[in-house]
Structure 1
Amino acid sequence: MEKDPGCCQDAAKTGLGPEAQLDDVVGAHPDYNEEEEEQKYFRRKRLGVLKNVLAASLAAMLTYGVYLGLLQMQLILHYDETYREVKYSNMELEDIDRKVLMGINVTPVAALLYTPVLIRFFGTKWTMFLAVGVYALFVSSNYWERYFTLVPSAVAIGAAIVPLWASLGNYITRMAQKYHEDAHYSTLSHGTLPGFNTTVLCSLPRSASLIMVESVLMAAAFLAMLLVLLLCGAAYRPTEEIDLRSIGWGNIFQLPFKHMRDYRLRHLLPLFVYSGFEVLFVCTGFALNYGVCALGLEKLAYLLMAYGFSASACSALALCTLRLRRHSPLLAGALLHAAILVTLFCWAPEPRRTEQAPLLYAIAALWGAGSALNKTGVSVLLGMLYEDKERQDFVFTIYHWWQALAIFTVYLWEGLPMKAKLSIMLLALGLAAGSYGWMERRLARHLAYRLPRIPRPRHRVSGYR
């Protein structure tokens, strides 16, 4: 029996054949623009990266602000002799303060041994979360100030300092790499200050007021934890984190030491040390010896706020320097700090002269600008020199470990005269600038550098796959 040719022609015209029906189901929509949808997808990813960076930065700001605010409150309260006698007459408070500072400043010396293991085991985001939680624990220990609450929490926070800042630096650098990929998809001091009146409080604070202040600080610390937990996305995909962990814990332990064979990192070590010097110097040496001498202990908070606001604003504006050569922010920050150190070396404040306040606030703000240029310059430089995501956590651990060693050194030199401290700062700054310049010269001559080999991931296969 022959087929009717008219029926075949009608089926072809109406598109009822098998291939035509399949195209109607799985074919592209007539209004679908693949290029436009791809642009929307990567725009959403870039906005997600910006959200992660803002959340991590805000959490770090809250954490460090709470930490410095609490230490400052302890310094003022524990320094007042009347407050100590009324509330802590049966406690050796000065001995406890010394041990708290020792726990905060000495414990990070051992951080190089465990920080890479923590970051690889928990992941970058969860290491940040746990470290911020340790800072919250330190705040909670101040609700009941005793030896067995303050000293262990100080040791814990000392152990968390390097993991927090190493994981944060690694996280921000990884987010910068993700943003680039998506954008180019087509292509302190001891408890007393000698030489001053030991009673600084007009009236003793009520316990309810102290509890309210500590509760606000505790809420800020919990807010920082929630920001990291809820708003910060993962720095790596799950398969990448598995690969990072599966190179072996022995290799993870050794690789930070092996990376120091690289001459680029060795030349940057003086810069890392100075970065630790200058942060603690402005909070202790300058604020206590210059600010408190000229303005009084009650103005200490305002000096540190001027430094903090200036550093925050200049850190945001430092993004504009990315179009410049990479040594520009580092050298600008070094020159600014050198000028301030020479000024402090040649000038001695007069006690209780409020007309010196504008100069002191200007110095604090300028020092914050120099610190911002220094910190952003170092982070950008490390991101450019070590683009391999498998090495960044090791590099940032080394950076912040040497910062911790510098902070420990500042803790040890506390008894030195101010002129000696300023001389050490100037020497460290000159050595850091010269060593960095020598590194850039060696790189310009295309001298080969030595990088340790990252072992291949060793996945254990078990069962049916």
Structure 2
Amino acid sequence: MSNRSDIIAIEAVSEVAAADSEDDSFFHRSPSVVEAWQRQDRDSVPVLRRSDSMDGNWSPAVRDLHMLSLSFLFVFLAYGAIQNLESSLHVTDGLGSTSLALLYLSLTISSLGSPFMVMWLGSKNAILFGLSGYWAFIAANIFPSWYTMIPASVFLGFTASILWVAEGTYLTFAAKSHAAACNITEATAIGTFNGQFWGVFASNQVVGNLISLALLQFEKATPGTVQLFIVFLGSMTVGTVFALLLRPHGQILKFGPPLLRSDSVNSAIYNRSFVKSTFALLFEKKMLLLILLLVYTGLQQAFIWGDFTRDIITPAFGVSWVGGVMAIYGAADAIGSLVAGKYSTGLVSIAIITCAGAITQALVLMIFFCKQEYMAGWTDYMLLAGLAIAWGVGDATFNTQISALLGILYPNDTEAAFAQWKIWQSAATSAAFFASTHIDLATRLLSLLGVLVASIAAFLVVVLRPDRTHWLKS
């Protein structure tokens, strides 16, 4: 590779290195990488080189993608299955629903400061810290009471806010590194990485819910439930090991001047600047238009995790069959994520794929509004399975395309952008769980449909007219 190509390769990933450091202290944005190249020995500056064996398909960042995906698969096959059962297992005084509502309320509040925590800890350490709350929540379910579930739910909300901002940051930076190494566009790499991650992630619903189906179907007694939680703690252990194997981005792209360990004045200035930029994104015009869609993603998750499992599946088939139907939902979500990510190459494709998912979920909502009661027969079971598949496809499009969109629109504010998603998504989920015991199902369905239509309209303004709409520019 020529010297000029080396410089171009480093310039392409300069923001990645500046945005994520695994050191245990605060850091500042590094100056131009070209300047660093000129003032330092070239051998001391790592360069993402493309070898003939890469051929545009492989780079070290792909390994990071696989480790991250497997970690989240094993962690969330445990948590996802328990979350689906939460409102059905702990029905006394609404303990299950209240726990989930407080969890997402805590996540909402904590998301305001989660970007700062991710920048402080570094994305890998933030992921590891974020997993601790899931351990506590699953352990609390072994001895469910108001004294165990409520504190565990609040703590999980705090750690989950950090985990998901760290995930979005880590994945976006890995995709950009891959794009630079393999000479492909960042939009393509981000879309592909998000598709593969969410495809593997969504398959947790298949494995976890099949495990819960088997144990709850054939072990009806209480010990069967305890056994289920013990099995899931083992899965959490495997997922944590994969997270430990992640490479810090600072290890991959570490250059620039030393971290400001002793310069407390400059560190304080940087910290205030970062916090200011995080809150400023709350009022950024493109983000304001996207808020409704971010809210809808939270509402649609609350519907499938709560209303669908508690008010539709359980009355017709019993709690043991929640796992079976949700496994089908998870399979559709996983396949849909892989397909959506493969064809996500820019703003136009993101708009088309997201609209297809929105139309799919709108049809499901209208069917549920027309038919809200189901019988314990194979005809209704097949219908519910089909609706679960359609909902999973819609969920896949929202997860993959919003992740890709935020990475494209906010390359310099990745942590803050993903924090905004978790703030609005978790706030909507929390509100939906709180309201589910006070509002009838028909009203909830119509409200969900109305938010979906309005959110897609605002979303299209952002993705289809980003240059012509001058007032969107911040």
Give the structure 2 partner of residue 138 of structure 1: 137
Give the structure 2 partner of residue 217 of structure 1: 232
Q: Which amino acid in structure 1 is aligned with residue 416 of structure 2?
A: F
1:447 aligns with 2:447: no
Q: Which amino acid in structure 2 is aligned with residue 223 of structure 1?
A: V
Which residue among 60, 65, 68 is the counterpart of 2:77?
A: 65
Preserved CA contact (<8 Å) 2:341 2:401: no
Counting only pairs closer than 5 Å after superposition, residues 11-410 of structure 1 correspond to structure 2 as 39=51, 46-72=58-84, 75-79=87-91, 94=93, 96-97=95-96, 100-184=99-183, 205=221, 207=223, 209-234=224-249, 237-239=253-255, 242=259, 246=267, 248-323=270-345, 325-388=349-412, 391-410=413-432
Question: 1:298: Cα distance to partner?
Answer: 2.2
Q: Which amino acid in structure 2 is aligned with residue 48 of structure 1?
A: P
Question: 1:424: Cα distance to partner?
Answer: 0.7
Question: 1:311: Cα distance to partner?
Answer: 0.5
1:180-223 Cα offsets, whole Å, 9 max, x none, are 11111899xxxxxxxxxxxx99986263x444332221111111
Question: 1:368: Cα distance to partner?
Answer: 0.3
Question: 1:142: Cα distance to partner?
Answer: 3.3
1:240-280 Cα offsets, whole Å, 9 max, x none, are 7958x946222222222212332111111111011111112
Preserved CA contact (<8 Å) 2:365 2:449: yes
Change in 2 beyond 3 A, CA 1:291/1:252: same
Question: 1:419: Cα distance to partner?
Answer: 1.1
Q: Which amino acid in structure 2 is aligned with residue 357 of structure 1?
A: Y
Change in 2 beyond 3 A, CA 1:295/1:107: same
Change in 2 beyond 3 A, CA 1:45/1:431: closer
Preserved CA contact (<8 Å) 1:295 1:354: no
The structure, 1 or 2, with the larger RCO (C-alpha pairs under 8 Å, 6+ apart) is 2
Change in 2 beyond 3 A, CA 1:43/1:440: closer
Q: Which amino acid in structure 2 is aligned with residue 221 of structure 1?
A: M
Preserved CA contact (<8 Å) 2:294 2:421: yes
Question: 1:430: Cα distance to partner?
Answer: 0.8
Aligned to 2:466, the other structure's residue is in SS state: helix
Give the structure 1 partner of residue 451 of structure 2: 428
Preserved CA contact (<8 Å) 1:271 1:432: yes
Question: 1:393: Cα distance to partner?
Answer: 0.5
Change in 2 beyond 3 A, CA 1:50/1:143: same
Change in 2 beyond 3 A, CA 1:126/1:321: same
Give the structure 1 partner of residue 433 of structure 2: 411
**Partner Cα separation in structure 2 for residue 147 and residue 337 of structure 1:** 35
Structure 1: gaps (5+ residues) = 1-36, 80-92, 188-199, 452-465
Which of the pair has more CA radius of gyration? Answer: 1
Preserved CA contact (<8 Å) 1:170 1:392: yes
**Partner Cα separation in structure 2 for residue 282 and residue 38 of structure 1:** 44
Question: 1:350: Cα distance to partner?
Answer: 3.3
Change in 2 beyond 3 A, CA 1:139/1:314: same
Q: Which amino acid in structure 2 is aligned with residue 219 of structure 1?
A: G
Preserved CA contact (<8 Å) 2:97 2:433: no
Question: 1:164: Cα distance to partner?
Answer: 1.6
Question: 1:109: Cα distance to partner?
Answer: 2.5
Aligned to 1:39, the other structure's residue is in SS state: coil
Question: 1:296: Cα distance to partner?
Answer: 2.7
Q: Which amino acid in structure 1 is aligned with residue 379 of structure 2?
A: E
**Partner Cα separation in structure 2 for residue 74 and residue 275 of structure 1:** 20
**Partner Cα separation in structure 1 for residue 422 and residue 57 of structure 2:** 30
Preserved CA contact (<8 Å) 2:361 2:394: yes
Q: Which amino acid in structure 1 is aligned with residue 121 of structure 2?
A: F
**Partner Cα separation in structure 1 for residue 452 and residue 98 of structure 2:** 30
Aligned to 2:470, the other structure's residue is in SS state: coil
Preserved CA contact (<8 Å) 2:85 2:319: no
Q: Which amino acid in structure 2 is aligned with residue 291 of structure 1?
A: I
**Partner Cα separation in structure 2 for residue 383 and residue 127 of structure 1:** 19
Q: Which amino acid in structure 1 is aligned with residue 76 of structure 2?
A: Y
Q: Which amino acid in structure 2 is aligned with residue 418 of structure 1?
A: L
Q: Which amino acid in structure 2 is aligned with residue 182 of structure 1?
A: A
CA RMSD of aligned residues (A): 3.1
Change in 2 beyond 3 A, CA 1:73/1:356: closer
Preserved CA contact (<8 Å) 1:76 1:297: yes
Aligned to 1:113, the other structure's residue is in SS state: coil
Preserved CA contact (<8 Å) 1:294 1:354: no
- TM-score, with length taken from structure 1: 0.75
Preserved CA contact (<8 Å) 2:350 2:405: yes
